[in-house]
Structure 1
């Protein structure tokens, strides 16, 4: 590969590192063409950008950024694919998918989440069980709405009860 092509790849990787707040490093060693195509299709459906890259080029792209990615350098061995995403837990759930896990590849190496959180290969289960930001917001909204719904329900049922009592009292002979 010519130096110009390598420089172009490094710049493109640098742009993706800036564009996406989260990325996963996975080992794609041993994946055949069919498995790779299936993984790419699933990544596309989940809005994950999958890029298979040489470790040295990825290392240079990581070094060229303003963020210190030195904790990930040890994971740059073997055949590496980078899964870029907007939501941190989506690739973990994809890697835990039964079809993908059945084949045993790709294997999770490391991950980076915005705000400088680095995760090693032993934390895939924890990553897949963590709720995304949108899921947490939805849970908070549901919790906040619950007391209001209870009060409204009680007021509505109470209004019917009061109306019934008043009607009964009104119909009673004196």
Structure 2
């Protein structure tokens, strides 16, 4: 690969990774070309990008972005998956794909935080954002209802006592 071509690839990868909300590093050892096409297709459906790049190109792009803490993932064959919207979505796609084919997640970077392959597996098992928000709203409304009943209970008891006193008189 010529030096100019490497520089161009470094620039392109740097620009693409700069605005990504989630970056995942994958080891695709053992995957056939057909398997990689299947993975790319699954990623594309979620508006997720995936690139197989030489580690040296990725290294220079990450260094340029001052993401030196991600260099530890550039060992062996590396595919970089990244997304601009939902940073959790690639973990779900990778998890689904790994049920059929062997693929290893090296680690990732989500919204400024370094994450391990174990954390990525845990993220893949989380329900989507809408479901989590529904659960949160249900918990909050249920807690408020319980608080309201707790506060109302002594008042109702007091009214009941006054009612009994008025009936005796």
Scaled by the length of structure 2, the TM-score of the pair is: 0.74
* Residue of structure 1 equivalent to 2:123: 127
Work out the number of aligned pairs and report it: 144
Give deviations 1:111-157, integer Å, cap 9, x for gaps. 1011x21012232321213455555445445667889xxxxxxxxxx
Q: Is the 8 A contact 1:89 1:128 kept in 2?
A: yes
SS across alignment from 1:24: strand
- Which ranges in structure 2 are unaligned for 5 or more consecutive residues? 144-169
Provide the C-alpha distance between the structure 1 equivalents of 2:69 and 2:49, rounded to a whole number of angstroms: 22
Give deviations 1:20-44, integer Å, cap 9, x for gaps. 1111000112211110110111001
SS across alignment from 2:119: helix
Relative to structure 1, the CA distance from residue 144 to residue 96 in structure 2 (aligned partners, 3 Å threshold; closer, same or farther) is: same
* Residue of structure 2 equivalent to 1:47: 47
Q: How does 1:102-117 map to 2 (within 5 A)?
A: 102-104=100-102, 106-114=103-111, 116-117=112-113
* Residue of structure 2 equivalent to 1:21: 21
Provide the C-alpha distance between the structure 1 equivalents of 2:56 and 2:29, rounded to a whole number of angstroms: 16
Q: CA RMSD in A?
A: 2.4
Provide the C-alpha distance between the structure 2 equivalents of 1:59 and 1:134, rounded to a whole number of angstroms: 36
Relative to structure 1, the CA distance from residue 3 to residue 118 in structure 2 (aligned partners, 3 Å threshold; closer, same or farther) is: same
- Which ranges in structure 1 are unaligned for 5 or more consecutive residues? 148-174
Q: 1:75 aligns with which of 73, 84, 96?
A: 73
